[in-house]
Structure 1
Amino acid sequence: MAGRIRSWIGKLFGHGATVIPVVRLQGVIAADTRPGRLNIAGVAPLLKRAFDMKAAPVVAIIVNSPGGSAVQSRLISKRIRDLAEETGKKVIVFVEDAAASGGYFIAVGADEIIADPSSIVGSIGVISAGFGFVEAIEKLGVTRRVYTAGKNKSTLDPFLPEKREDVDRLNAFALDVHHVFIDHVKTRRAGKLTAPDDELFTGQWWSALSGLRLGLIDGLGDIHQTLRERYGADVQLKAIEPKRPLFALPRFGLSAAAAGSATGEVLASIEDRALWSRFGL
């Protein structure tokens, strides 16, 4: 009887079971700190806490992102690798709906990528989009006045006619960023990719079933089944989440700053929705 009680207490507090930290990276990748955004400032403390769990044999990371900032994607992926090398821990990424574009850049930082068969992976490319309002302001009788020091400061101004040299400059920049992405994938997936560059690096995305065939991921499955098969049925997953403030004072009404923030969040939500909708999500 006493043995059963000790066993029950041990299971309750995790004694004897393998505990694996899980970091969830979900959302659009961007430098700003609005809710639902992924960036190095918000992610780095979570990764540090996960890798600091010395008894954990592996760090699990859930990725669910349609992409976003190329810089933030690289910084997060690099931080994963730096911590893995410092601690000697293996990293497994589990893809949910999507690890696309910057989301896939982050996923490639892992030692192993596991995805649901219907997950979206890939989209190894760079995109820049905007609008032109030249004809609209002409119809409204509005004259655009721009004064710059430096002939290229008004590059791709949406209210001025598009210039060929501006487009060429933007394309050259996009190619540089694309090469960084390609080099990262080739380095991290060396010996695993099974298709030529002109198939893998066009910006195309695939289901995980096809991604497995192309060598973009390592296996199909989900986090619970995979970790139980590898570390035992009693494995415990410990979610590493942002720390919440100890005290939060109630507030009533909206200040001008809060109203502006709310507007910004609405616009960010529209932008995020557009990124997800590119993949039918």
Structure 2
Amino acid sequence: MLSAVNVNLGDDQLSDMRPESSKEWKIIEKTMLQMSAESRRSRRWGIFFKLLTFTYLFVLLYLFNMSVDTSAINKGGAHTAIVDVNGVIAANEDAAADVIVTGLRGAFEDQNTKGIILRINSPGGSPVQSGYVYDEIKRLRAIYPDIKLYAVIGDIGASGAYYIAAAADEIYADKASLVGSIGVTAAGFGFVDALDKLGVKRRSYTSGEHKGFLDPFSPENKDEVEFWKTVLSTTHNQFIGKVKEGRGDRLKDDPKLFSGLVWSGEQALELGLVDGLGSPGYVAREIVGEENIVDFTPKPDPFERFTQRLGASIGGAISNNVVSGAMKLQ
């Protein structure tokens, strides 16, 4: 392809090149004009793609900066470490056990940490995830006996979230926080009558006498219901055991304590579920004695976060339809 320089010829040059035939000259002139226009279009597309590439790189750089672990800031001096338990406690969520534990390990291992606050705002979730965090807190406290851990409940610290809080040295909450809900739930739906009305027949093929139990499209089996209650009861007793282990004599003798009820922070204080009323700032300042707060909560990469949430949403939708009545500390 000829460049723009080649085709921008002067009048004198064109006259020298002008063929004798007027028709031939018009063809040449038309060809040169087309080549010149094509060259301009090529330059415009080149500029467009360069701008597109620059924008793409700028977005990548911005997202990278957003994903940098800001918890590294101010680690050079003494501080109170904070780790968040925010939202539902479940795998692939912000409050997944691996995320919480990673933050706790970093906080305990930092030589300038004077105390740790577990900042809780969660309705609960998986008993397995909650138990994992509880056990890891106990393990880390044994390794670092001089660093105390305080759970501070915000709007809500119920069920699995309270399970985790019970491992702390002390628990604080706002007077209006929702605290407790020490119980286990498993809920589902029954569609047997609806299928009958619609004239739909359920066909389920399993290997194992009880493999299809809790199937919402099949009639309840009394024996299976009783068995499932024993599973829930066992999990509930594990929960109660951990709360008693963590709280000890601070718990009041109240028959409703482990009934699944939830209380305000003020009521929870009277029942021994919490040790005092206060915010994370109050605990850092007045209890730990170090106002400088550093957040050790892991910050996921934006792309990884997006793909994880997409996968979790799809997987969660499938599992919710396939596995009915999953247990939750909620």
Q: TM-score range by the shorter chain?
A: 0.7 to 0.9
Question: Which of 120, 127, 130 is equivalent to 2:178?
Answer: 120
Please say if 1:56 is aligned against 2:113: yes
Structure 1 residue 260: Cα displacement: 7.2
Residue in 2 aligned with 1:188?
246
Partner of 2:40: none
Q: State the distance in 1 between where 2:253 and 2:151 align.
A: 22
Aligned partner (choices 203, 210, 217) of residue 159 of structure 1: 217
Using the TM superposition, give the Cα deviation of residue 262 of structure 1 relative to its aligned residue in structure 2, in angstroms. Answer: 5.5
Structure 1: how far apart are the matches of 2:124 and 2:309? 27
Match of 1:19 among 63, 79, 88: 79
Higher helix share: 2
- Corresponding position: 1:239 with 2:295: yes
User: Whose strand proportion is higher, 1 or 2?
Assistant: 1
**Structure 2 residue 90 is the aligned partner of structure 1 residue 30:** yes
Find the residue that maps to 1:29 and give its secondary structure.
coil
Instruction: Tell me how far apart the structure 1 counterparts of residues 310 and 263 of structure 2 sit (CA, whole Å).
Output: 40
Residue 221 to residue 161, structure 1, CA distance change in 2 (3 Å) = same
Say whether the 8 Å CA contact 1:108–1:185 is kept in structure 2.
yes
Q: Give the TM-score of the pair, scaled to structure 2.
A: 0.68
CA distance in 1, matches of 2:297, 2:124: 21
Render the CA deviation track for 1:62-116: whole Å, top value 9, x for unaligned. Answer: 0111111111111111111111111112110110011101010010010000101
Of 122, 126, 139, 1:65 maps to 122
- Cα RMSD between the aligned structures? 2.8
Q: 1-side partners of 2:314 and 2:232: how far apart?
A: 30
Aligned twin of 1:222: 279
Q: Does 1:85 align with 2:145?
A: no
Q: Which residue does the alignment assign to 1:140?
A: 198
Which ranges in structure 1 are unaligned for 5 or more consecutive residues? 1-11, 269-278
Report Cα offsets for 1:9-66 as digits up to 9, x if no partner. xxx9676x631110011111123x1x44x22222221111111112222111101111
CA distance in 1, matches of 2:317, 2:79: 39
| Matching of residues 94-113 of structure 1 within 5 Å | 94-113=152-171
CA contact (8 A) 1:18 1:235 kept: no
- Which residue number in structure 2 is paired with residue 272 of structure 1? none
What's the % identity of the aligned pairs? 37
Q: Is the 8 A contact 2:74 2:294 kept in 1?
A: no
The alignment's TM-score, normalised by the length of structure 1, stands at: 0.79
The structure number with the bigger radius of gyration is 2
- How far does the alpha carbon of each residue in 1:218-271 deviate from its partner, in whole angstroms, 9 at most, with x for none? 000111123212455x620001132444x959x9xx9xx997765667899xxx
Distance 1:107 1:230, change over 3 A: closer
User: Are the aligned partners of 2:166 and 2:243 in contact in 1 as well (CA < 8 Å)?
Assistant: yes
Letter in 2 for 1:211: A
Could you tell me whether the CA contact under 8 Å between 2:89 and 2:125 is conserved in 1?
yes
Following the alignment from structure 1 to structure 2, what is the Cα–Cα distance between the partners of residues 260 and 231? Answer: 40
Point out the more displaced range, 53-62 or 96-105. 53-62
CA distance in structure 2 between the aligned counterparts of 1:259 and 1:244, rounded to whole angstroms: 14
Alignment size in residue pairs: 246
Residues 1:43 and 2:103 aligned together: no
1:150 is matched with 208
Name the aligned partner's letter for residue 126 of structure 1: V
Show structure 2 runs of 5+ residues with no match.
1-72, 320-329
Change (3 A) 1:135 1:195: same
